[in-house]
């Protein structure tokens, strides 16, 4: 008859549960570090691409159109914001979590829609100024509705942020914008990955410290 | 054959034509570009340029160099040569030379107005203006709130005044209005320059008509591509195209309704001179379109030097120098960003 001892920890391949848990923590730490380094490398290549595309846009549009003096110094709402929260899984962990809120909140969107309406109102008076008859205006407005492709609010936001360089910008400048947008997303992923890496490193350290105390 | 220009041109224009042909000989060659493309740092570029006509302009610049410094100093050389030619020129060559700079004047006006709209310091904006486009009252542009004031306070006394008739409104200046103003001004300028060259007649009219028509067509294509996906309506887009050129008027009608790059290609491929340009591009691609247009422009500009006794050589020289400065800018950026593998993406060899 076998006697099962419930007091001694169970063994798996010669390792205790504690050791298995420690190994899992170490593996998690190594995985997060690997992911962190991969993201760093990805960020570097994305930024390199973005800077070259910006130089290409400057070459295409001219130095007077792509210039630091055109950056907007008026106060305006941020198109993108960063939300920092505590990790929901563990109350005591204190691990921050970063979330990128891209391209205007809903409140900004409403005000921006209002701005768009007023800018369109400004545009139409110019058309009326240049046009001659009401019939022409009606025909023009129906043709204009058919031609407008800017339905996507994200695309509108992108165009708005590029408008400091002019409304008709080269596709190269738009490509540069997308690259820097991707870089921003990668930066937030890096921040989250670093947060996780630091957290798992602390866990590994705690386990090691606990083992030393036991000895 | 044209009029008897060979008999009379050299009386007033012979010296300056000789000068500009001498300047042309100083343009960088393919061997110069190959050396520059192999540079590791901007100081290497400065060292290679010291052996060219740019040497005196760069020699006193301290390290570390910046790409904008190289471009500024090279531009200064062009400005000096232009001013020398302008002060030696008599009518109608002096007016012709002034016409060449009106495009830069328009760019400077838009830069100042846009920068002011973005609450930038006027002094900062003036430093970034192109020197060929400067005029006395340019700083006063910063006080204008709308186009009517812009015209009344500043531009009425400048050569750009006649181009403002289609732009003047009391609407406040904003990004869309400024863009439309820029392109409307440039359209009016090109048409005026074209008419002036036609009035000059002879070889000048023929050569400049070809060059300006190409410029108008290229502008039409760029406006079309850049306005895809924006709020610019088809009618407004059509109004920005110049009223001359190979694409006028039927090509413009088709370009006005294009919604993507492939539709633009389909329109342009109906015109044999542009078929060769678009045949270099793959479908859906527009990245290399600029280089293809620049290459075609350089070819036409170089051909202008094959004939004598016309003013087109002055226009061609200025444009070739600007292309050279663009090449140097691109090479400098690729070297500075350690992206030498991409240097041949945008360099256009002149010789």
Q: Do B175 and A167 touch (CB under 8 A)?
A: yes
pLDDT confidence of residue A87: 66
Q: Do A64 and B128 touch (CB under 8 A)?
A: yes
Q: Do A148 and B223 touch (CB under 8 A)?
A: no
Helix (H) or strand (E) holding A30: helix A17-61
* Residue B153 DSSP class: I
Lowest model confidence (mean pLDDT) among A82-96, A149-163, A172-186, B111-125: A82-96
- pLDDT at position B160 over 60: yes
- pLDDT at position B347 over 70: yes
Q: Do A73 and B118 touch (CB under 8 A)?
A: yes
Q: What is the mean pLDDT of residues A45-70?
A: 93
Which chain B residues contact residue A172 at CB under 8 A?
287
What residues have CB less than 8 Å from A149, skipping those under 6 apart?
B228, B229, B259
Which chain B residues contact residue A73 at CB under 8 A?
118-120
Mutation site for B-interface testing, chosen from A52, A55, A120, A132 by largest number of B Cβ within 10 Å: A55
Backbone angles phi, psi at B247, to 5 degrees: -85, -10
* Residue A186 contacts residue A97 (beta carbons within 8 Å): no
Q: Is the dihedral of CA B228, B229, B230, B232 positive or negative?
A: positive
Which chain A residues contact residue B235 at CB under 8 A?
127, 140, 143-144
Report chain B's mean pLDDT, rounded to a whole number: 92
Q: Do A147 and B337 touch (CB under 8 A)?
A: no
pLDDT confidence of residue A136: 42
Mutation site for B-interface testing, chosen from A62, A63, A141, A146 by largest number of B Cβ within 10 Å: A63
Please report which confidence band the pLDDT of residue A185 belongs to, taking 50, 70 and 90 as the band edges.
very high
Which chain A residues contact residue B294 at CB under 8 A?
none
> For A74, which of B119, B169, B229 is closest by C-beta distance?
B119
Backbone angles phi, psi at A138, to 5 degrees: -65, -45
CA-nearest of A119, A185, A108 to A150 is: A119
Please tell me the distance from the alpha carbon of residue B196 to that of residue B7, in angstroms, as a whole number. 22
Q: Note the pLDDT tens digit of each residue in B253-275.
A: 999 999 999 999 999 999 999 99
Please report which confidence band the pLDDT of residue A132 belongs to, taking 50, 70 and 90 as the band edges.
very low
Lowest model confidence (mean pLDDT) among B15-19, B89-93, B135-139: B135-139
What tokens does B145 get?
């709130």
Which chain A residues contact residue B125 at CB under 8 A?
69
* Residue B68 contacts residue B122 (beta carbons within 8 Å): no
* Residue B349 contacts residue B62 (beta carbons within 8 Å): no
What tokens does B297 get?
């422009």
Q: How far does A54 lie from chain B, in Å, by closest CA? A: 10
> For B235, which of A51, A67, A140 is closest by C-beta distance?
A140
Q: Do B68 and A63 touch (CB under 8 A)?
A: yes
Instruction: Please tell me which residue, A140 or A14, carries the higher pLDDT value.
Output: A14
Q: Note the pLDDT tens digit of each residue in B46-62.
A: 999 999 999 999 999 99
pLDDT confidence of residue A89: 55
- pLDDT at position A20 over 90: no
Which chain A residues contact residue B241 at CB under 8 A?
none
Q: Do A72 and B118 touch (CB under 8 A)?
A: yes
Q: Note the pLDDT tens digit of each residue in B198-242.
A: 999 999 999 999 999 999 999 999 999 999 988 889 999 999 999
Q: Do A119 and B174 touch (CB under 8 A)?
A: yes
Mutation site for B-interface testing, chosen from A147, A169, A170, A177 by largest number of B Cβ within 10 Å: A147
Q: How far does A99 lie from chain B, in Å, by closest CA? A: 29
The pTM (predicted TM-score) of the whole model is 0.85
Please tell me the distance from the alpha carbon of residue A87 to that of residue A97, in angstroms, as a whole number. 6
What residues have CB less than 8 Å from A17, skipping those under 6 apart?
A9, A10
Q: How far does A87 lie from chain B, in Å, by closest CA? A: 39
Please tell me the distance from the alpha carbon of residue B234 to that of residue B239, in angstroms, as a whole number. 9
Helix, coil or strand: residue A143: helix
Q: Do B119 and A70 touch (CB under 8 A)?
A: no
- pLDDT at position B158 over 80: yes
pLDDT confidence of residue A13: 58
ipTM for the assembly = 0.92
Q: What is the mean pLDDT of residues A132-153?
A: 49
- pLDDT at position A124 over 50: no
* Bridge partners for A97 per DSSP: A85
pLDDT confidence of residue B286: 77
pLDDT confidence of residue A144: 52
> For A59, which of B129, B233, B330 is closest by C-beta distance?
B330
Q: How far does B78 lie from chain A, in Å, by closest CA? A: 16
pLDDT confidence of residue A151: 54
B-chain residue closest to A50, CA distance: B337
Please tell me the distance from the alpha carbon of residue A205 to that of residue B264, in angstroms, as a whole number. 62
Lowest model confidence (mean pLDDT) among A169-173, B14-18, B66-70, B135-139: B135-139
Inter-chain Cβ pairs, chain A and chain B, closer than 8 A: 143
Q: What is the mean pLDDT of residues A157-166?
A: 86
pLDDT confidence of residue A14: 62
Q: How far does A206 lie from chain B, in Å, by closest CA? A: 44
Q: How far does B224 lie from chain A, in Å, by closest CA? A: 9
Q: How far does B201 lie from chain A, in Å, by closest CA? A: 32
B249: preceding bond cis by omega (within 30 degrees): yes
């Amino acid at each position: 008859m076998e006697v099962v001892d419930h007091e001694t920890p169970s063994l798996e391949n010669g390792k205790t549960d504690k050791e298995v848990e420690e190994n899992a923590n170490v593996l998690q730490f190594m995985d997060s570090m690997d992911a962190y380094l991969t993201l760093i490398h990805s960020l570097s290549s994305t930024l390199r691409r973005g800077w070259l595309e910006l130089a290409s846009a400057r070459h295409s549009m001219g130095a007077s159109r792509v210039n630091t003096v055109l950056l907007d110094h008026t106060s305006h709402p941020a198109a993108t914001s960063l939300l920092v929260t505590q990790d929901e899984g563990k109350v005591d962990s204190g691990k921050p979590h970063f979330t990128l809120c891209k391209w205007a909140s809903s409140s900004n969107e409403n005000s921006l829609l209002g701005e768009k309406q007023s800018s369109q109102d400004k545009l139409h008076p110019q058309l009326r100024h240049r046009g001659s008859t009401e019939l022409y205006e009606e025909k023009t407005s129906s043709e204009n509705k058919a031609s407008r492709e800017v339905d996507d609010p994200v695309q509108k936001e992108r165009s708005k942020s590029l408008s400091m360089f002019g409304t008709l910008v080269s596709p190269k400048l738009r490509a540069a914008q997308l690259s820097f947008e991707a870089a921003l997303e990668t930066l937030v992923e890096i921040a989250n990955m670093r947060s996780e890496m630091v957290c798992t490193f602390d866990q590994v350290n705690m386990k090691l410290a606990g083992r030393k105390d036991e000895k | 054959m044209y009029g008897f220009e060979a008999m009379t041109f050299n009386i007033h224009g012979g010296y300056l034509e000789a000068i500009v042909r001498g300047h042309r000989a100083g343009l960088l060659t393919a061997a110069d570009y190959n050396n520059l493309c192999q540079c590791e740092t901007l100081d290497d570029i400065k060292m290679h340029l010291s052996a060219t006509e740019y040497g005196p302009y760069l020699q006193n610049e301290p390290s570390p160099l910046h790409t904008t410094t190289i471009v500024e100093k090279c531009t200064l050389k062009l400005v000096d040569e232009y001013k020398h030619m302008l002060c030696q020129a008599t009518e109608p060559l002096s007016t012709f030379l002034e016409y060449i700079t009106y495009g830069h004047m328009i760019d400077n006006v838009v830069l100042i107005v846009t920068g002011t709209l973005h609450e930038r310091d006027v002094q900062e904006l003036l430093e970034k203006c192109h020197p060929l486009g400067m005029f006395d009252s340019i700083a006063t542009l910063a006080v204008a709130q709308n186009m009517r004031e812009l015209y009344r306070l500043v531009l009425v006394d400048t050569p750009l005044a006649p181009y403002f008739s289609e732009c003047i409104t009391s609407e406040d200046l904003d990004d869309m209005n400024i863009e439309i103003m820029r392109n409307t001004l440039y359209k009016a300028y090109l048409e005026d320059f074209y008419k002036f060259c036609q009035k000059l007649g002879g070889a000048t009219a023929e050569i400049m008509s070809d060059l300006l028509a190409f410029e108008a067509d290229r502008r039409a294509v760029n406006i079309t591509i850049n306005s895809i996906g924006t709020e610019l309506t088809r009618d407004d887009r059509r109004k920005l195209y110049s009223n001359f050129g190979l694409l006028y008027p039927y090509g413009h009608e088709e370009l006005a309704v294009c919604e993507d790059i492939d539709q633009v290609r389909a329109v342009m491929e109906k015109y044999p001179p542009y078929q060769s340009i678009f045949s270099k591009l793959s479908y859906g691609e527009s990245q290399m379109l600029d280089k293809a247009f620049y290459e075609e422009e350089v070819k036409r500009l170089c051909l202008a030097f094959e004939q004598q006794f016309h003013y087109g050589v002055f226009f061609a020289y200025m444009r070739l120098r600007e292309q050279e400065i663009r090449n140097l800018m691109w090479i400098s950026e690729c070297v500075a960003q350690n992206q030498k593998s991409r240097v041949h993406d945008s360099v256009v060899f002149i010789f």
